[in-house]
Each structure stands twice: as C-alpha cells, then as structure tokens.
Amino acid sequence: MIDTKLDEIQQIIKEQQTYFAAQKTKNISFRMEQLKKLKNGVKKHEQAIAEALALDLNKSELEAYSTEIGILYEEINFTLKRLRNWAKPKKVRTALTHTGSRGYVIQEPFGAVLIIAPWNYPFQLALSPLVGAIAAGNTAVIKPSELTPNVSALIKKILQEQYPASYIAAAEGGVATSQALLEQPFDYIFFTGSVPVGKVVMEAAAKHLTPVTLELGGKSPTIVDEHANIKLAAKRIVFGKFTNAGQTCIAPDYLLVQKKVKQELLDAMKDAINEFFGDKPLESSRYSKIVNDRHYSRLTRYLNDGEILFGGTRADETHRIAPTLLDQVDPDSPVMTEEIFGPIFPVMEYDTLDEAIEFVNSRPKPLALYLFTESKETEAEVTNLISFGGGCINDTLMHIATPYLPFGGVGESGMGSYHGKYSFETFSHAKSVLKQTTKFDFSFRYPSAKNGLKLV
C-alpha cells in the first residue's frame, strides 16, 4: 500500500471544494445516480471483496456477506427508496408571536467530508457512512484502515472506477496520512475507531471548527438475569461475542450474570461454542483470525487475568485464539478495564440487579448494552438507569443491522449517530428559514412604538 502524499491530499480537497461549489451535488437525481453507482461497483467486485476479507481477517464468505456486503446493499436500497422525501424542505409550525409567518427547514450538505475507517469491518465501516455522505449531497474522501491492505486497495479501486476523485476519492495510508488529512479544512469529519484516536480527531477538527461524528468503542456489558431464557441467551451471546473473533465494536465485552443461573448459562455457552465452531475452532474456516501481531499479543496477555473455564488455546502462526471464557476476574485487571476486542469473555457474577447496574454505571458509558431477561421490570430498570449508545434486549449485535434505529455512542463511546435517515441527517446541516408576511405588520415591535413593549 502506498501512502497518499500530502500534496495529493491537498489537490484532492481543492478539487472537491470546487466540485461542491458548482452545486451539482444538490440535485437529488444526481445523488441517487451516485448511490446506484456505488451499488453496481460493489456488485461487480463482490467476489473480490469476500476474498480480500478472507486474506485480511480470515472472514468466512457467509460473514463477509452478512456483516459487510449485504448490510451495505440494504443501506443503499433503504436510502434510495426514501431520499426524495427526506430531502424535501420541511414546513414547521410557527409560534403565536410569529403570526403571519411560515417556517421551513432545508437539509443542506456540509461540503467536502472526510470519513476515516477502522479495520474490523473494513469494507462496511468505510462505505456505509459514504452512503449518508452521498445521500446528503457532499463530496467525500475516505481513509480506509492500513491494517487491512487488501480491502483498502479494493475500496480505492471501486471508488476510482465509479467516481472522479474531485467528487469521491480514497486516500490510502496509515497514521501519517490520517493526520495529514485531519489538517485539511474539511466541512465534516466522520470517524470510526478507538477512543484515544477519537480524541486526536476531535482536537484536529477543533482547529477548523469542523463538526464531527465519533463512532468509538469501549466495554459493552451483557447482563443475564434469573428470568432469562438461558439456552437462547447462551446462543445469542456466543454469536455476538465470537463473530469476527470478538473484533466487533459492539461485541459483548464482559458478562454480568446473576449467581443463580451462572452455571446453567456457562454450560449452555460451552455447548453453543462447540455447535458453532466445532471442537477445533483454531482450524475452523468459520472463525476469524486476530488482525495483527500487536493485537494478538495484547489479547494473549488477557488470558492470565483470570481462570480459564473454556478455550484458552491459541495458534501463534495463524493468529488465532479459541473462544475463551474467563472466570474469577479482578474488576481492576486489564481484561476488565481495557476494551478487549477479541475472543476472550470475562465472567462476573452478581446477586441483585442493583449491583449490576451500579457496576456498569461506575464505568465509562458503553457503546452497547445487552440484557437477557423475560422480566419487564428488569428491562425498564436497566434501560432507564444505565446510559449506553444502543443495545438489545434478548439479543446481541442486531440493533446495528436495522436502518430504523440510530447507531452511535454516548460519553466515551462517541457522539452522533448514523444509519438510514440518521445518516442523511448526520451529513446535512438543518438550515432554518422564517418567511415573514408582507401583508400586515405589527408596529409595536419597533422602538418607535407608542407604548413600547414591556419585557418581563
């Protein structure tokens, strides 16, 4: 992979500013055309995308389709169906004090936007925000992750085939490229990645007062209470935790299980792991590898932070760590204080729901939270008393896959949201206009009014 040079970056942004200023992207038919081009470009290279994901992450074809390619098609189709309606100026009511006037809101594009993507869903997380950027009428530069070079190169190829760089471009490269991009006067920055880099992005954006969306990470708790359907909970937790070998921003990070049902749940989880990945997960083609050396050795250190209940085996040459359940963990140990982002699942137990809620609330606000229960009271307590980006009751991960729900973090897990209409709104400025009547006028508003207006 060749890092995009600073002068090339400067050239691209200049051209994109010119392109945007020509007002072409304001046309809704134009935007829809561009979304269709994106879909066609991806369709054309569908097989190559699956292969690149297999090379970079050992993703299975099924996972490549369901979590990267298919989800992108859905986002495009959903947007194409509704864009004309979203983009119409919306009339709003006016206050009594504004009698005679009318108000409306125009959703206008920001201009040239920058999208920075991570490596864990390297295809989808680069192009799904692009759907919103195009739909809202922006130009865009995408910086794919350097840790998944095959996918990065393919993203560049697809975009180059479909668009002039003066409209949409990929800037490949690592940290230096990312930082060079961040120095440019973009009109909006959409960043997906880690909390520390999120802070770097926000600081850089502040220099140009560029608004940002930060889609970050963190430790997403999974709470299982005594009223849960344990067998189903076990399957859905194992699915969410070990998809992409735990390298998912919204993967269940750790388990909080009510003591009474702990053993039953752990047994059911072991069965589910065996059922999904077989008894040799390190050799399974359905099981992802860890992305690189640094992450692999970081994860292997966590194995010492508790008692291995299940799994714990690994293959250094292929960067694989078996699905692992870790018991007797210290809440202050690294596995319980750092985002795990891998296939290691620490298990904590609790007696009362209050204890579990207090534990989660004593830590940074998570990106996701999962609760397994049949009790409406427990559901109400958890959803009302804990702040989190988004989540599921009786499932994991699935909230990310519906375009009807906003997806994003809160507190340390990020700011802003996207998907479906929320993407369109994220990449648009809501411009408000008040149209005043000229048919009559209230003289009391002016300084020359006889009795004036008393302000209380």
Q: Is 372 left (phi over 0), alpha (psi -120 to 50) or beta?
A: beta
* Distance of alpha carbon 257 from alpha carbon 260, whole angstroms: 8
CB of 400 to ligand NAD, least distance (A): 8
Minimum CB separation of residue 199 from ligand NAD in Å reads 9
**Between 116 and 133, CB nearer to ligand NAD:** 116
Residues 6+ apart with CB under 8 A from 61: 50, 54
Q: Which is the catalytic residue, given 172, 215, 339, 412?
A: 215
Closest residue to ligand NAD, based on beta-carbon distance: 217
Window 156 to 185, contacts with ligand NAD (CB under 6 A): 174-175, 178-179
Per-residue contact string for residues 237-276; x = within reach of ligand NAD by CB under 6 A: ------------x---------------------------
192 makes contact with ligand NAD (CB under 6 A) = yes
Handedness of CA 148, 53, 112, 417 (dihedral sign): negative
206: contact with ligand NAD by CB under 6 A: no
Question: Residue 82: what residue type?
Answer: R
Subset of 5-44 contacting ligand NAD (CB under 6 A):
none
Q: How far is CA 196 from the centre of its chain?
A: 16
Query: Binding string to ligand NAD for residues 213 to 242, with x set by CB under 6 A, is what?
Result: --xxx-------------------------
Supply the minimum distance, in Å, between the C-beta of residue 257 and ligand NAD: 23
Site string for ligand NAD, 366-385 (x = CB under 6 A): -x------------------
In the chain, the largest separation of any two C-alpha atoms, in whole Å, equals 89
Q: What span, in angstroms and rounded, lies between the C-alpha atoms of 229 and 150? A: 41
Evaluate whether 130 touches 121 at the Cβ level (below 8 Å). no
In terms of C-beta distances under 8 Å and separation of at least 24 residues, what long-range contacts does 199-207 make, across chains too?
201/116, 204/179, 207/183
Give CA–CA dist 217/194, Å, rounded. 6
Q: Which of 4, 107, 124, 145 binds ligand NAD (CB under 6 A)?
A: 145
Contact residue for ligand NAD among 116, 159, 223, 415 (CB under 6 A): 116
Per CB under 6 A, which region of 58-66, 86-94, 119-127, 349-357 contacts ligand NAD? 119-127
Site string for ligand NAD, 328-347 (x = CB under 6 A): -----------x-x------
Select the residue interacting with ligand NAD from 41, 221, 323, 414 (CB under 6 A). 414
**Residues with Cβ < 8 Å from 428, sequence gap 6 or more?**
107, 108, 109, 110, 136, 137
How many residues sit close enough to ligand NAD to count as binding (CB under 6 A)?
A: 27
H or E element in which residue 435 lies: strand 428-435
Beta carbon of residue 208, minimum distance to ligand NAD (angstroms, whole number):
15
Q: Does 186 bind ligand NAD (CB under 6 A)?
A: no
Q: What number of CA atoms fall less than 13 Å from residue 12's CA on the CB side? A: 28
The vertex-233 CA angle with 232 and 236, nearest 5°, equals 85
Sign of torsion, CA 203 205 206 212? negative
Task: Give catalytic status of residue 338 as yes or no.
Answer: no
Whose CA is closest to 263, among 309, 222, 305? 309
Options 12-20, 53-61, 71-79, 193-201: segment touching ligand NAD (CB under 6 A): 193-201
Beta carbon of residue 116, minimum distance to ligand NAD (angstroms, whole number)? 5
Minimum CB separation of residue 293 from ligand NAD in Å reads 13
Return the DSSP state at 69.
Answer: I
User: How does strand 368-372 pair with strand 390-393?
Assistant: parallel
Minimum Å distance from CB 346 to ligand NAD?
A: 17
Among 119, 310, 370, 427, binds ligand NAD (CB under 6 A): 119
Question: Could you list the residues that contact ligand NAD (CB under 6 A)?
Answer: 116-120, 125, 143, 145-146, 174-175, 178-179, 192-194, 197, 200, 215-217, 249, 339, 341, 367, 409, 414
Active site residues: 215
